[in-house]
Structure 1
């Protein structure tokens, strides 16, 4: 059996490695002409995602490039401490959630795939596919094509594969927020290493963590009309945070601000698969970054899909089993994450209510067991 994998972000190489583990030949096709070595800021790989990577033996190299971030402390824009929650649960070997540069995660996963002799071809933008008998053929913008037994979509929230599979599928939803970030060395910012400080500011949301090295890794979620992109984000962010009772505005002033990107998620899709084609990761269930689960869900998908294909009598049965196992979980995470995003974009009245109620909510959620449904999931082969 051979699987054509569309997309070489995070999900594509992990899916390829998982399928190779169960004896399926794979090839990855990436739309862009080169890799994503310099794309993006940083992201959270939650403990459940690291557990899934451990199944593939790929977690140690990720951990060596990441910083442990097992806790989150919430603050109001007035400087009031609102509460604390766990950022994941410890694995049986003590591993906690980690924060990693997206470029480091990408390079590590891609290089690991290459060590498994997985072929990656760039400049292959999917334009169509068709099925004939027991085969599926992908056709690319450059006029070339590839044929295999399965086509697995790992091409993200704006998936071309999804648009072909189901032209009536709901479109990605804009959250009302732009995401920006940066890293500043030797800031002297207060904060315990390994702790995310999350600030519900008066005009925008700000998060940062201090690494053992003294670097401060920060991100901002700024309410913004879609498409309203300034020439320079820095003064816009400084104005958004200058009235908050913390050092976020000063931190932004000292930073090289990564380009802003709109945050999307996906409403529940009616169709995840048809024939020999299956959607996975963000192509099937994109979540906002507010839950810190996007990469982890894609990694879980890869492991579960490999198991379903190995243990099923046909691809039809495998795809159905995959959806039945994954859909309830991922849709719950998407909904949970969307609720958090909505709180970040709260207006003046809602903001007052949020800051009054959030301490009670966080106290209820402070128990690790309250989020065990999200972090204790075990993807296994």
Structure 2
């Protein structure tokens, strides 16, 4: 049985409640502290949960009723709509699911509440005092709480990460802005179980048919100036749509999807960011999880899945290893290599999204041969998607 009895989890997004669920299953009473006054219902764009993420969600009981659309394959096209290659699903694994972040957030939050996990809102962390027996979390409203350990699940701009290591790196801009929307246009012969990636002359576009709703799309626009979501939204949607329609004017099906999109329906996400490798994941009785420790680009399709994996692995380590330092070190050893490999692969994908017309044409020539020979689905996704966590297996100290 774990020597840890209580945990304060800072951050009430997706990683925080999942961490609390996993800790609770490990016999540790965890309370979630969220900086904002209310829940984040209805906020955020679309995300994909891969088979490895679905497996980790199953461990904490969030595997039923997810409002996702199954994606069995991925297809790559050039700016003229010509197929460059296709990757099918992996044998023996369920399909990935694409869903609104708000739907995953709601499912996780409702599961946490159902099993008795308490979430306290309006608690913005301002400092931490460590003692030999635990930590005292101090909040901006003057209150404080005591726990055996403190888990930073507070996102890519983590306060806990800065408390652990004031020299820790912050997020870096990828050179791409993110947009998305539903379009009334339908792409001929596009299948609802397939996600399409179109590499146009000036910008990248991903899309998939949504039965009864037309086509969902997301675009990555090369942009020199890093803009936060708030800064990007200061520009009216109609102005961004004029820019996007110009960028995709020569692309198929980009131009048609943009023409079929109402200006007011545009979702603007601001600059896409990644988190460089974080030197210190823990210190004393504080530890990081999710985007606070590792935030690959959204191009990875693994952000949510990796966060859930890390939450479950952290709970297993604290369950089985009495010494807190040894538990945190083992957790980091289990996770660091995997998440940094995913981040590196996503960085390469980002470079492909903004590589220009000449390089795009070269890729269009080479990709069909590659996908028929060495670039197989197993080699591309096997090591990420086949990752499984055996909750019942004991964890040995690193």
Q: TM-score, normalised by structure 2?
A: 0.90
Find the residue that maps to 1:243 and give its secondary structure.
coil
**Match of residue 2 from structure 1:** 6
Segments of structure 2 that go 5 or more residues without pairing to the other structure are 392-398
Distance change in 2, residues 1:109/1:97 (3 Å): same
Greater shift in the superposed pair: 219-228 or 133-142: 219-228
**Match of residue 327 from structure 1:** 336
**Match of residue 206 from structure 2:** 207
Find the residue that maps to 1:61 and give its secondary structure.
coil
Map 1:114-263 to 2 at 5 A.
114-184=113-183, 187-190=185-188, 191-225=190-224, 226-227=226-227, 229=232, 230-232=235-237, 233-251=240-258, 253-255=260-262, 256-263=265-272
Measure the CA separation in 1 of the matches of 2:143 and 2:369.
58
Find the residue that maps to 1:285 and give its secondary structure.
coil
The answer to whether the aligner puts 1:25 opposite 2:35 as a matched pair is no
**Match of residue 66 from structure 1:** 68
Map 1:93-108 to 2 at 5 A.
95-108=94-107
**Match of residue 396 from structure 2:** none
**Contact 2:71–2:193 at 8 Å: present in 1 too?**
yes
Displacement after TM superposition at 1:79 (Å): 2.1
The answer to whether the aligner puts 1:374 opposite 2:384 as a matched pair is yes
Q: TM-score, normalised by structure 1?
A: 0.94
**Contact 1:52–1:380 at 8 Å: present in 2 too?**
no
Distance change in 2, residues 1:332/1:171 (3 Å): same
Measure the CA separation in 2 of the matches of 1:371 and 1:98.
15
Measure the CA separation in 1 of the matches of 2:95 and 2:52.
9
| Corresponding residue pairs, total | 375
**Contact 1:89–1:376 at 8 Å: present in 2 too?**
no
Measure the CA separation in 2 of the matches of 1:78 and 1:184.
19
**Match of residue 297 from structure 2:** 288
Specify which of 321, 331, 338 is matched with residue 347 of structure 2.
338
Measure the CA separation in 2 of the matches of 1:361 and 1:286.
29
**Contact 1:128–1:140 at 8 Å: present in 2 too?**
yes
Greater shift in the superposed pair: 77-86 or 362-371: 362-371
Measure the CA separation in 2 of the matches of 1:371 and 1:202.
27
Measure the CA separation in 2 of the matches of 1:87 and 1:231.
39
The answer to whether the aligner puts 1:355 opposite 2:353 as a matched pair is no
**Match of residue 51 from structure 1:** 55
Distance change in 2, residues 1:125/1:80 (3 Å): same
Greater shift in the superposed pair: 115-124 or 242-251: 242-251
Distance change in 2, residues 1:116/1:237 (3 Å): same
String of CA shifts for 1:127-159, please: whole Å, max 9, x gaps.
Answer: 211201211011112222111111111111111
Displacement after TM superposition at 1:358 (Å): 3.2
**Contact 1:46–1:88 at 8 Å: present in 2 too?**
no
Displacement after TM superposition at 1:370 (Å): 4.0
**Contact 1:184–1:217 at 8 Å: present in 2 too?**
yes
Displacement after TM superposition at 1:367 (Å): 3.5
Measure the CA separation in 2 of the matches of 1:280 and 1:267.
15
Distance change in 2, residues 1:253/1:107 (3 Å): same
Displacement after TM superposition at 1:218 (Å): 1.2
Displacement after TM superposition at 1:211 (Å): 2.5
Measure the CA separation in 2 of the matches of 1:357 and 1:147.
58
Specify which of 309, 325, 340 is matched with residue 316 of structure 1.
325
Specify which of 76, 79, 82 is matched with residue 81 of structure 2.
79
Find the residue that maps to 2:197 and give its secondary structure.
strand
